[in-house]
A and B are shown apart, each in its own frame.
Chain A
Amino acid sequence: MIKIEHLSKNFKVGNMDIEALNDINLEINDGDIYGIIGMSGAGKSTLVRCINMLERPTDGRIEVNGLDMGNLSDKELRAARRDITMIFQAFNLLKQRNCLKNVCFPMELDGVPKAEAEKKAKELLEIVGLPEKAKSYPAQLSGGQQQRIAIARALATNPKVLLCDEATSALDPKTTHQILKLLKEINQKMGITIVIITHQMSVVQEACNRVAILDGGRVVEEGNVSEVFSNPKSDAAKRLVMPDGERYQKWLGASSERRLRVVFQNVQNIEKPLVASMAVEAGVIATVLSADIQKLVGDKAGTMLLGVSDEQFDSAMKYLKTYEGITVKEVEDFV
């Protein structure tokens, strides 16, 4: 369990005071894959670096598995860091060590005998799917492979928490997908809590169960990923959810529901009246899976994706066909 209470962080640059984090309160439960998303400069890296005290908070309290991180001695902090490991955007492998030795590194710091460390390192290389790269050097590996080695290294001390700071930002979409898959496996099989910092919605959607949206150093929205994404409330969340449109819709709908795409033309009030009035007038309960609304020269236009149960599907269609200013269509697949 990670508890972040009233966390603030200011940076002094010359005589300027930069407020990177402002009164952050978060709880990350054991076993979560917790996404922290925000635009560049929102304070994501600062937040995650406060969790393991790479950055000292200006104010507030951080508790990881019952340890008050800010009040540890240097020695205790070093011990705590074996339980809270980290992977990075730039992988940060030791370039003059081969992969096996890189994975051994944290165990070496811990005084684990060499033979034992190498045995464990080999097992970890198996887990990340790169046993054949033991003797290769980081420079001989692709980015995705380097990140796998970094993950193996981060697992070497049997951590309880894995912090990922933009761990997939330097990778192409396919490799990103593979790394996220690996992280999910690690989360499930080893029960490691994972915190994923990213600026990519797709990463949160693919991997996380909970998400916090960071904007200007504040948490503006927090909750289950599907809730936050299907019904973003804050401007920052909307900015993050909407621009990529339907790419996420497939993922969002519960599998038992049928999906309807509603397209608006020249409508003033879009979401609430439609969904609410359909509930009241036709008795159809629909979930808003996503909505993408743009303002085109004064008029609003956009699409909304609704999920309705199989039983109510026909009544929904009938009701919506009579609704003014919209067109409606069932959506079976999004590719």
Chain B
Amino acid sequence: MYSGIFSAEALAEALECIKTEIPFAIWETFYVTIAATALAIIIGLPLGVLLVAGEKNGVAPLPSWVMTVLNVVINLLRSVPFLILMIMALPLSRLVVGTTVGTKATIVPLVVAAFPYIARLVESSIREIDPNIIEAAQSMGATPFQIIAKVMIPESVPSLINNGTIALTTILGYNAMAGILGGGGLGKIAINYGYYRYQYTTMYVAVILIVIMVIIFQTIGTKATIKCDKRLK
């Protein structure tokens, strides 16, 4: 199957695809990943904060049944394999964006899959904060909300950015998988050309582009993490 990857015919096919479909696919992958990550952060960040702040000894203790429900839901969603979760979430797509196919429709299952993951990442970032610093804020008369907004989140920004980058690249990978179920972007091209049409050269082009996007996201994320961490200077 690998012979002929560099044959003139294969290269011509790939070139054709690069000219026609790839630019738009890159854009689709890019915006779906960013949009899904952003929405998942909007849901996952507060939940992650609650996982720490709402604990029995946290700054804003919640009833224990609330914490149990929260943990069970997050664990359930985290344990279902992405492709299956996506199939399960398709009815939700219809509800939210009115369709189950196409690029927009994949954002919904991506968010459903990603927000519990992000909640856990946020939880781990917030747990890294020295509890003495939180206690110092309490000793100064900070309200629970002030502690969350002015201590917990700002103090964990570098770790949040670092974990956000991990989430972003993971969602990019999910997004590529979504190509199987009718999502657009580079994942769809890789599957259509490589799996259905045996045009491996085109498939490799798509895969390499996905890898390059991951590398770019990761590099930017790592740089941003280091740049904003005032502990390192």
Residues of A within 8 A of B141 (CB): 77-82, 106, 109-110, 157
Q: Are B150 and A108 in contact (CB under 8 A)?
A: yes
Cα distance, A90 to B139, chains bound together (Å)? 14
Please determine whether A81 and B140 come into contact, CB atoms closer than 8 angstroms.
yes
Residues from 137 to 194 in B contacting A, C-beta threshold 8 Å: 137-143, 146, 150-151, 154-155, 157-158
Q: Mark A231-267, 1 if CB is under 8 A from B, else 0.
A: 0000000000000000000000000000000000000
**Are A92 and B146 in contact, with the CB atoms below 8 A?**
no
B136 lies within 8 A of chain A by Cβ: yes
Nearest B-chain residue to A83, judged by Cβ: B141
- In this complex, the member of B133, B135, B229, B230 whose beta carbon has the largest number of chain A beta carbons within 10 angstroms is B230
Given A54-B135, A106-B141, A109-B150: A139 and B233 interface contact (C-beta under 8 Å): yes
Q: A109 — which chain B residues lie within 8 A by C-beta?
A: 137, 140-143, 146, 150
- C-alpha spacing A195/B104, complex, angstroms: 62
Q: Enumerate A77-122 residues with CB–CB distance to B below 8 Å.
A: 77-82, 85-86, 88, 90, 92-98, 105-106, 108-110
In the complex, what residue of chain B is closest to A156 when comparing beta carbons? Answer: B140
CB of A137 within 8 Å of the partner chain: yes
Which of A78, A79, A85, A92: most chain B Cβ within 10 A?
A: A92
| A81 and B139 contact, Cβ closer than 8 Å, known pairs A96-B154, A96-B155, A97-B154 | yes
Beta-carbon contact of A85 and B135 below 8 Å? no
The CA of A310 and the CA of B143, in the complex, are separated in Å by: 61
Chain A residues, Cβ within 8 Å of B146: 109
Q: Would you give the shortest CB distance from B177 to chain A, in whole angstroms? A: 36
| Interchain CB contact under 8 A, B136 and A86 | yes
B132 interfacial contact with A, CB 8 Å: yes
Q: Contacts of A79 on B, CB cut-off 8 Å?
A: 141
- Give the Cβ gap from B135 to chain A, nearest Cβ, in Å: 6
**B233–A140 touching, CB < 8 Å:** yes
For chain A, the bracket of interface size reads 20 to 34
- A92/B136 in contact, CB under 8 A: yes
The answer, yes or no, to whether A52 is at the interface (CB within 8 Å) is yes
> CA–CA, A86 to B138, complex, Å?
10
- B interface residues, how many (CB within 8 angstroms): 25
Alpha-carbon distance between A93 and B133 when the two chains are bound, in angstroms = 7
The contact string, 1 if C-beta is below 8 Å from chain A, for chain B 198-232, is 00000000000000000000000000000011111
A88-B151 Cα distance, complex, nearest whole Å:
17
- The residues of A that contact B138 with a CB separation of less than 8 Å are 54, 81
Q: CB < 8 Å: which of B133, B140, B151, B231 contacts A157?
A: B140
The DSSP consensus for interface residues of chain B is: helix
| Bound-complex Cα distance A252 to B56 (A) | 50
Residues of B within 8 A of A94 (CB): 133, 151, 154-155
Please give me the residue from chain A that is nearest to B140 by CB atom: A106
Which of the residues B139, B151, B155 comes within 8 Å of A52, measured between beta carbons?
Answer: B139
Q: Which residues of A contact B228 (CB under 8 A)?
A: 96
A84: nearest residue on chain B (CB-CB)? B139
Residues of B with C-beta under 8 A to A85: 139-140
Map CB proximity to B onto A279-297 as digits: 1 under 8 Å, 0 otherwise.
0000000000000000000
| Chain A residues whose CB sits within 8 angstroms of the CB of B130 once the complex forms | 90, 92
Nearest CB of chain B from residue A41's CB, rounded to whole Å: 19
Residues of A within 8 A of B132 (CB): 88, 90, 92
Give Cα A78 to B137, complex, Å.
11
CB contact list, A41-84 vs B, under 8 A? 52, 54, 77-82
- Chain B nearest Cβ from A124, distance in angstroms: 14
Which residues on the A side are within 8 Å of B157 (C-beta)? 96
Report B123 CB to chain A, min CB distance, Å: 19
Chain A residues in 8 Å Cβ range of B143: 78, 109
* A286 to B133 alpha-carbon distance, docked (Å): 50
CB distance from B53 to the nearest CB of A (A): 15
Tell me the complex Cα distance, A81–B146, Å.
15
Evaluate contact between B150 and A95: CB separation under 8 angstroms: no
CB-CB < 8 A to B142: which residues of A?
78, 109
Q: What's the nearest-Cβ distance from chain B to residue A179, in Å?
A: 17
Chain A residue with the shortest CB-CB distance to B157: A96
A54 and B139 contacting across the interface, CB-CB below 8 Å: yes
5 CB-based A-B contacts, threshold 8 Å:
A78-B141, A81-B139, A105-B140, A109-B141, A157-B141
6 closest A-B pairs by beta carbon, nearest first, are A81-B141, A92-B136, A78-B141, A137-B230, A86-B139, A106-B140
